[in-house]
């Protein structure tokens, strides 16, 4: 059993901020990144927690990311707000674009936020959850790097292309999901490689297109989409909507742009926001209650809502802090200025 270090959320955040500032990030970027990394750690999404910080630092040192970039928010069309991130990290670009997106959704009923020229390493659920906290339904999509083969194919085309969704609930904890359209997240393949553990069947193929359970071979070959041709179709949709539609790179172009630097992927992101208050008017409570009945029908038969485990982890972390493996803590402390 690996030794663990327990930190309060404040201590974890202070450690993260020290590292981010030392890496040369502007204060707004450091704060925005600390927010999402600590949220990931708090909810025990370990692959999107403090574990991400060495990668953030590497992406800056590789000379790809501008740590001081000031995102531009542009009112592009009645239903569209754009943020040009100017090759900085995504959390600040999203945080600056969100108010305008929500404002547009409240006026139009539906609106889109397109983020361009942006480096991504964080989960999407903190973003859709933040929109749902304002009572607005949210859907977020991004490509990544071309690591995933299309159904029936042998070579990578798609990214892990996550899709995240949030539905505000009267009790305050929204219905949220966030999943990769690959069978498994790229980060999980990396974790298997680090741990020397075999992959499950059906996760990946090697460089020749043959199924493999070897993490190294999978990283050199291609991952597969979840759900066969249906997951593959969704992955294609995400490429199109969060790439060409918003004038940004596909996963294959993003991978070529990286040019072997192994930095965080640079690409676009599309976030849709739909305001139930506009769709429903004074009848909103009655219809929101229909959704609550559906959640009840799921939970009452012993099935889990997608966000349930994360909210349980959040309660634990808020009470007792977060626990991180000692080797990761050592790695983080080494990145902190002395």
What residues numbered 170-229 form the site for its own copies, per CB under 8 A?
175, 177, 179, 181, 226-229
Q: How far is the CB of 82 from its own copies (least distance, A)?
A: 9
User: Does the active-site annotation cover 145?
Assistant: no
User: Does the active-site annotation cover 26?
Assistant: no
Q: How far is the CB of 74 from its own copies (least distance, A)?
A: 12
* Residue showing tokens 């676009």: 268
Distance CA 99, CA 254 (A): 28
Position 333 contacts its own copies (CB under 8 A): no
- Cβ atoms of 225 and 232 closer than 8 Å: yes
Residues 245-274 that bind its own copies (CB under 8 A): 245-250, 252-253, 272, 274
User: Does the active-site annotation cover 188?
Assistant: yes
Position 309 contacts its own copies (CB under 8 A): no
Closest alpha carbon to 102 in 289, 278, 322: 278
Q: How far is the CB of 152 from its own copies (least distance, A)?
A: 4
* Residue showing tokens 């590292």: 19
* H/E segment holding residue 140: strand 137-141
**Active-site choice (18, 26, 47, 76):** 47
Choose between 69 and 246: whose C-beta lies nearer to its own copies: 246
Q: How far is the CB of 171 from its own copies (least distance, A)?
A: 15
Q: How far is the CB of 14 from its own copies (least distance, A)?
A: 35
Core vs surface per residue 68-100: b (16+ CB within 10 A) or e: ebebebeeeeebbbbbbbeebbbbbbbbbbbeb
Helix %, strand %, coil % of the chain (to 5): 45, 20, 30
Residues 85-114 that bind its own copies (CB under 8 A): 107-112, 114
Choose between 97 and 243: whose C-beta lies nearer to its own copies: 243
Choose between 53 and 128: whose C-beta lies nearer to its own copies: 128
Distance CA 250, CA 267 (A): 7
Choose between 131 and 157: whose C-beta lies nearer to its own copies: 157
* H/E segment holding residue 32: helix 27-42
Give catalytic residue positions: 47-48, 188
């Amino acid at each position: 059993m690996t030794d663990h270090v327990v930190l309060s959320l404040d201590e974890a955040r202070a450690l993260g901020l020290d590292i981010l500032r030392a890496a040369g990030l502007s204060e707004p970027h450091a704060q925005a990144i600390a927010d999402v990394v600590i949220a990931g750690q708090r909810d025990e999404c370990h692959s999107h927690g403090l574990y991400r910080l060495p990668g953030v630092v590497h992406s800056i040192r590789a000379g790809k990311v501008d740590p001081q970039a000031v995102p531009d928010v542009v009112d592009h069309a009645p239903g569209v707000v754009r943020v040009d991130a100017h090759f900085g990290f995504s959390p600040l670009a999203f945080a600056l674009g969100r108010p305008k997106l929500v404002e547009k959704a409240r006026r139009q009923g539906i609106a889109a936020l397109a983020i361009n020229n942006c480096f991504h390493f964080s989960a999407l659920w903190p973003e859709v959850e933040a929109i749902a906290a304002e009572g607005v339904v949210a859907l977020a999509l991004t490509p990544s790097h071309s690591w995933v083969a299309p159904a029936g194919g042998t070579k990578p085309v798609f990214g892990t292309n996550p899709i995240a969704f949030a539905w505000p609930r009267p009790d305050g904890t929204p219905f949220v999901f966030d999943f990769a359209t690959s069978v498994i997240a790229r980060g999980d393949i990396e974790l298997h490689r680090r741990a020397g553990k075999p992959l499950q069947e059906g996760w990946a193929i090697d460089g020749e297109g043959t199924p493999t359970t070897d993490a190294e071979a999978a990283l050199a070959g291609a991952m597969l989409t979840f759900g066969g041709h249906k997951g593959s179709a969704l992955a294609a949709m995400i490429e199109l909507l969060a790439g060409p539609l918003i004038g940004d790179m596909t996963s294959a172009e993003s991978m070529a742009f990286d040019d072997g630097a192994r930095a965080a992927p640079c690409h676009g992101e599309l976030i849709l926001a739909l305001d139930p208050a506009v769709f429903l008017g004074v009848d909103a409570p009655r219809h929101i209650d229909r959704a609550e009945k559906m959640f009840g029908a799921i939970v009452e038969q012993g099935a889990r809502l997608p966000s349930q485990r994360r909210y349980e982890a959040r309660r634990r972390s808020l009470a007792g802090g977060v626990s991180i493996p000692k080797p990761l803590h050592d790695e983080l402390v080494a990145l902190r200025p002395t």
